[in-house]
Amino acid sequence: MALQIGDTAPDFEADTTEGRIRFYDYIDGSWAVLFSHPKNYTPVCTTELGYTAKLGDEFAKRGVKVMGLSVDALDNHDGWLKDIEETQGSALNFPLIADSDRKVATLYEMIHPNASDSMTVRSVFVIGPDKKIKLTMNYPASTGRNFDEILRVIDSLQLTANHKVATPVNWKHGEDVIIVPAVTNEEAKVQYPDGWKEVRPYLRIVPQPR
C-alpha cells in the first residue's frame, strides 16, 4: 500500500553526492523534502534540480532540508551535476541519492508499474520534524514540478502546525486564513481579540497569525 499522509517516513541509508547518508540523521528534527527523478541526464530533471538549488535560501529560511534521488550510479552523477550547473546557472547544494539498486525508490513506492517498470515517477514527499509524511505528490515523467508551489505548501503546513487555522484556495504567506471549525467562537475571541470576518458560521476569516 502506498505511503499516505500521516504515515512515518521510512528511514534508509544511501550513497549520495555528499557521501553516505542516513536519512533520519540528515533531517535531524527538521522539515524535509525528498523528491525523485526518473534517471540522470533527463532534460526536465535538469531544470528542476537547478531551480531547487536556486531556492536553497528559501528552503533554509523555512528550516527545510532537501534531498533528491535518481536511479543511477554515483559515478554517473558527477557529469550530470556539471551539466546542471552549466545549463541552469546554479550548482547543486543538497544531496542527490544514487539509487541504482532502487532500494529507496521501492521503499517509498516511487516506481509505478503502469508508468514504467524501472524509472521513478516525479514523486515529492514533504516530511515534518516528527518524521511524519505531510504531503505527497506524483507527476508524470513529462511534466516538470512547480517548486514555488512546494514552498507555498510548506508555508501552509508550518503555519497550520502551530495555529488552529487552515489556509484557503491559492493562499500565500501573509494572506488571511480560516479559523478551523473545531475552535468555538468563545475560544476564537481569546485567540483573536480583534475579531474576524464571519462569512458563514463555519467560514471565519482572520489575518494570518504572526
Residue 185 CB coordination number (10 Å): 11
Based on the residue annotation, tell me whether 207 is a catalytic residue of this protein.
Answer: no
Strand order in the sheet with 203-206: 165-166, 177-179, 203-206, 197-200
Q: Which three cell numbers stand for residue 136?
A: 505527497
Cell 495555529 sits on residue: 163
Catalytic site residue from 33, 45, 69, 151: 45
Distance between CA atoms of residues 82 and 54, nearest Å = 15
**Helices (H) and strands (E) in the chain — how many of each?**
7, 11
Long-range contacts from 130-137, C-beta under 8 angstroms, 24+ separation: 131/8, 131/9, 131/24, 131/27, 132/6, 132/7, 132/8, 132/9, 133/3, 133/4, 133/5, 133/6, 133/7, 133/8, 133/9, 134/5, 135/5, 136/2, 136/3, 136/4, 136/5
Provide φ and ψ at 24, rounded to 5°: -60, -40
Strand partners of residue 8: 132
Active site residue ranges: 45
